[in-house]
Structure 1
């Protein structure tokens, strides 16, 4: 008898960032205005409501161990991944970049016109995780804070 595999429903639910100093990273993401949930976890792990997938912060060495990956050497260059903070307007992009830098982020690339008709810039968090702040054609941000993609 051949068993048919049930195809699971694909979904991205949590993005976990490995961080060097959980206390400092919690303070940083709190200061950006993300809403922390499940605070009972203390400083073991932090979960944030982002209006979409959950953002989690977890100590770098423990995250590496959990994934059965080496803790060292830690990458000091681009890791092949960015996070994005989509905005409604170009003015909002500028405001978010300035706000993040004021809260301790490092400006990686100033906001600029993109070749696809958008407007974007980059900052990095305390551990160098790059965030793109962007307004892009075909991607709208609703009142629910979720992105809505054109067909």
Structure 2
């Protein structure tokens, strides 16, 4: 009787965003303060250290081809997912939203008290990718910039 191989360990390592103008998107994420790595890739692809999974930027049409998905029609708004920028305090949420908008983001929703006891607002990057900026109960941000979840 053959033994089943062990299941692989699940991990989320990279989030790749399809972008319309890679040069503009690189400038935006640089301005937000994310640390770009592997700059030898030039404007083919950009990788950012986020303190957790890597954030990658790749031209939208090329990403669609790579994933064998249609390039058209492109959704112009909500795509069924958001990115999150967890903060340590409500004041940090407000500051991040103001900062992101000053760097070219569009404010989608002003910060507000949530029904689960948190504080949250949303901005969109230049390609419309929505980011939630949030303080949430049970989710802490450590000195290491990593998110730590309560048990």
The TM-score bracket by the shorter chain reads over 0.9
Matches within 5 A, 1:111-126: 111-126=111-126
Question: What's the counterpart of residue 14 of structure 1?
Answer: 14
Matches within 5 A, 1:1-150: 2-150=2-150
Consecutive unaligned residues of structure 1, counting only runs of 5 or more, are none
Supply the distance in 2 between the matched residues of 1:49 and 1:17 (Cα, whole angstroms): 14
Supply the distance in 2 between the matched residues of 1:104 and 1:71 (Cα, whole angstroms): 25
Consecutive unaligned residues of structure 2, counting only runs of 5 or more, are none
Supply the distance in 1 between the matched residues of 2:3 and 2:21 (Cα, whole angstroms): 47
Aligned structure 1 segments of 4 or more residues deviating by more than 4 angstroms: none
How many angstroms does 1:77 deviate by? 2.5
How many angstroms does 1:113 deviate by? 0.2
TM-score, structure 1 normalization: 0.98
Size of the aligned set, in residue pairs, is 151
How many angstroms does 1:122 deviate by? 0.1
How many angstroms does 1:128 deviate by? 0.3
RMSD after superposition: 0.7
